[in-house]
Structure 1
Amino acid sequence: MTPPSSDWTPIAEEAERAARVLHPEPNMLPRPDHRRVLTVANQKGGVGKTTSAVNLAAALAVHGLKTLVIDLDPQGNASTALNVDHRSGTPSVYEVLLGEVSLADAVAVSEQSPNLLCVPATIDLAGAEIELVEMENRESRLKEALSAEAIDEIGVDYVFIDCPPSLGLLTVNAMVAAREVLIPIQCEYYALEGLGQLLSNIDLVQKHLNPSLAVSTILLTMYDGRTKLADQVTAEVRGHFGDVVLKTVIPRNVKVSEAPSYGQTVLAYDPGSRGAMSYVDAAKEIAERGSTNGSRSGTL
């Protein structure tokens, strides 16, 4: 191992990592063969679902891939992290679901990157599950809004749909609108609790509403290398789900937790942090899996 130079300091190392994140080599990540729409879902709260959706989107955007985040959680946390307006009355995913505005009219550009777009969630979305019950084609309202023509109008390579921590109509809409499901799983006790129910619901949607739906990606989050439990959970998930699990794991990192309170992704807040670098690595894996020249993996 080459010893560090006399100019090396921890701050210098972090600055170098930050420069690599913010100024990546051009064309480092391949564009997908086809536009990819991924639903980020897990009905268990606190697993890093929204955090993963916005930071993966940001990492792809920094590498030149135009990316859209659809905030389908009434809490609006993805909108907060991307620092887009989501006050009541703002054109949002709620109006998109009702058919009152087009996808393009609800899209906002995040100040963190011109390649990073968001359809925000306002507090109005809280009552959408009840309103959808009475609507025609209630399970496919988002799919209709995300038609090929609508997405072509804004010209994105990736769409990430951030779901609420439940298996209600909003999550069903997200699954009907997507071809892929990305499941974040935290490396902690009870990590797999409720996962069977989620997979059962995905199977039901696949059978009755969206035959092309599949679990393409599992991302391990909140990994703490100091504990045996984290390694045990990681080994168990990899043993059960195989190549669907990304090689990259997201560490438990205070910068990842702090970033949303500043209206930022961790890549904008502290690009040299371990959390930011890990999300960049995970995004690279996802991009490579979506390319003919990349290392395609299976699905569940």
Structure 2
Amino acid sequence: MRIVGFCNLKGGVGKTTACQNLAVALARRGLRVAALDLDPQSNLTAGFGISVPEEHPYIYDFLLGDVSFEEVKVSREGVDVIPSTLDLAMAEMQIESQPGRDTLLRDALESAGLSGYDCVFCDSPPQLGIFTRNVLAASHEVIVPLESEFYSLAGLRLLSRTVELFRKRLNRGLAIGGVLLTRHNPKIIMNREVEKEVRSHFGDRVFSRYIRQNISLVEASGAGVSVFGYDPESNGALDYSVAADELLERWKNDG
């Protein structure tokens, strides 16, 4: 089982969109996939069209060990989703004072008995708070969705240094598994220059397939489904399908 974190310390880069659509693409290929929403903004939860009733457990209860994975999961489009709510923002302040706060996710996943899953995707907030730290401590690899503009490069450099720090201190197996260019248009000079710099630094860790700007990706999120459920013939669906195949090939080569 692979635990994959989706991280970028800059918001608005398509991180949650990548997490959702790659998860669904892999599920459509027969893999058993789970997706955990660790962002208090709950965009992954909303993107799957999930509304969490007040009495229903969510990711916070799973992290604390109060409920099992089976009790909290909600299945959508072949993916088992652990939802989040805005209450997670309040819970963050409570967790910050607890010992072992950065390994709550790792401990919960180890106790959950998820060996039947092929991969667990973890969507993190766009800042280096406790939930992003938990994702970095628990994951085998990080996929970094990156919008092709210069402000994103600063966030990528900071995340790279953070991954190195976590590898040294808390998670020796952590690696940047891939950088995925999103909302990319090679006809735009800035996009080409950003791509050139990213590829020169990260080499073959950059996905060969980039994600084009596509209105179906935006509309799908608003409709509460993946792009495959919204418009399977769209450029967004094609791009994420090819990216999923590339991800599987990488995993195969990694052994």
Bucket of the pairwise TM-score, normalised by the shorter protein = over 0.9
Q: Name the counterpart of 1:106.
A: 72
Cα distance in 1, alignment partners of residues 174 and 91 from structure 2? 23
- TM-score, normalising length: structure 1: 0.82
Deviation at 1:59, TM superposition (A): 0.4
Residue 39 (str. 1) matches residue 9 (str. 2): no
1:149-202, Cα deviation, whole Å (9 max, x unpaired): 5213xx211111000111011101111111101111111232202222212221
2:80 corresponds to:
117
* Structure 2 partner of 1:20: none
Of 121, 127, 136, the residue aligned with 2:90 is: 127
- Residue 88 of structure 1 aligns with an amino acid whose one-letter code is E
Asked whether the 8 Å contact 1:104–1:150 carries over to 2, the reply is no
* Paired AA for residue 106 in structure 1: V
Give, in whole Å, the separation in 1 of the partners of 2:54 and 2:9. 25
2:217 aligns to what? Answer: 256
Please give the residue correspondences for 1:81-100 in structure 2 after superposition, counting only pairs within 5 Å.
81-100=47-66
* Alignment gaps of 5+ in structure 1: 1-34
Q: CA deviation at 1:130?
A: 1.1
CA distance in 1 between partners of 2:200 and 2:157 (Å): 16
Query: Cα deviation per residue 1:63-102 (whole Å; 9 max; x = unaligned)?
Result: 1111111000011111111122324332111111222112
Matched with 1:3 is none
Conserved in 2, the CA contact under 8 Å of 1:259 and 1:269?
Answer: yes
Cα distance in 1 between the residues matched to 2:28 and 2:101: 35
- Name the aligned partner's letter for residue 208 of structure 2: K
Counterpart code for 1:132? I
Alignment deviations for residues 113-132 of structure 1 (CA, whole Å, 9 cap, x no partner): 3xx11000012211222111
Matches within 5 A, 1:1-300: 35-110=1-76, 112-113=77-78, 116-147=79-110, 150-152=113-115, 155-291=116-252, 294=253, 296=254
C-alpha distance in 2, partners of 1:57/1:67? 6
Residues 187-223 of structure 1, C-alpha deviations (whole Å, 9 max, x = no match): 1232202222212221221111111111111111110
Q: Displacement of 1:239 after TM fit? A: 1.0
Separation in 1 of the partners of 2:219 and 2:186?
20
Is contact 2:69–2:112 with CA below 8 Å preserved after alignment?
A: no
Q: What's the Cα RMSD here?
A: 1.5
Between Structure 1 and Structure 2, which shows a larger proportion of helix residues? 2
TM-score normalised to structure 2 length:
0.95
Task: Flag as ranges the 4+ runs of structure 1 deviating above 4 A.
Answer: none
Secondary structure of the corresponding residue to residue 101 of structure 1? coil
1:55–1:279: 8 Å Cα contact kept in structure 2? yes
Kindly indicate whether the alpha-carbon contact (under 8 Å) linking 2:68 and 2:112 is maintained by their aligned counterparts in 1.
no
CA contact under 8 A between 2:34 and 2:81: conserved in structure 1?
yes
Write the letter of the residue equivalent to 2:206. V
Q: Sequence identity, in percent?
A: 39
Structure 2 CA distance for aligned equivalents of residues 261 and 164 of structure 1: 19
Identify the range of structure 1 (51-60 vs 131-140) with the bigger mean alpha-carbon deviation. Answer: 131-140
User: How many aligned positions are there?
Assistant: 255
C-alpha separation in 1, matches of 2:54 and 2:8: 26
Q: Is the 8 A contact 1:107 1:120 kept in 2?
A: yes
1:148 Cα offset (Å): 6.4
Question: Counterpart of 1:133 in structure 2: which amino acid?
Answer: E
Whole-Å Cα distance in 1 between the matches of residues 22 and 200 of structure 2? 24
Structure 2: segments with no counterpart, 5+ residues? none
Larger-gyration structure (1/2): 1
* Preserved CA contact (<8 Å) 1:96 1:106: yes
Following superposition, the deviation at residue 42 of structure 1 comes to 0.5
Counterpart-to-counterpart distance in 2, 1:271 and 1:188: 27
- The answer as to whether partners of 1:67 and 1:156 remain within 8 angstroms in 2 is yes
Q: Look up the match of 1:5.
A: none
